Amino acid sequence: MLKGGNDERYTLWIFGKQLRVSLSTGEIKIEKINTNILRKFIGGVGYGARLLYDELKAGIDTLSAKNKLVFSTSPLTANNVPAGGSIMACFKSPLTQVWGK
């Protein structure tokens, strides 16, 4: 079992990946994170915003199955930094029809 922390095997296994879950079909996929996006849009909010911008069609119904909800973490998640392990939820808001977090 991988213990985390400074264990290099743990770092290679968990970091740099994203999990996609379709609530409609139950399909689950593990994908590599696009590091180019991470370099340009730092942080969980930046990454989540870019994913939504790239993957949602303009005018999508916020309550449709095609809308997306992105949970992302800070680049400081694996470090002992106060508030470095925060989790962000990024989405197109049903209330305002624009970006929400």
Domain boundaries, the chain: 35-100
- pLDDT tier at 2 (50, 70, 90 boundaries)? very low
**Alpha carbons 54 and 91: distance in angstroms, whole number:** 13
> What are 15-52's pLDDT values in tens digits?
778 888 998 899 999 888 877 887 788 778 888 889 99
Q: Is the pTM of this model over 0.75?
A: no
Non-local (6+) Cβ contacts of 67 within 8 A are 56, 60, 61, 91, 92
